Amino acid sequence: MLFIVVFGVFTLIPLTLVVWLLVFAARRATRAINQCKACGYDLHSLGDRRECPECGRPFQVNQNGDVVS
């Protein structure tokens, strides 16, 4: 009985952590190019502004008009 409990704990905790990390990485990877890296706000039509109006994080724009940071 103790083996089952120990095996369950040492299996479920790392498995839960791996699943959580995969979900976190997938959500980060699916952010659009012209979204704020901090909050996900759409930044493509802000004109001359160089900070996110939602969270205030500064960003840069390349020659193509895509948000870099």
3-state helix, strand, coil in the chain (%, to 5): 40, 10, 50
Instruction: Compute the radius of gyration of the chain from its Cα atoms.
Output: 20
pLDDT value of position 31: 63
3-state secondary structure of 19: helix
pLDDT value of position 20: 92
pLDDT value of position 55: 93
pLDDT value of position 32: 65
pLDDT value of position 37: 84
pLDDT value of position 33: 74
The pTM assigned to this predicted structure is 0.49
What are the residue ranges in the chain where pLDDT is below 70?
A: 29-32, 69
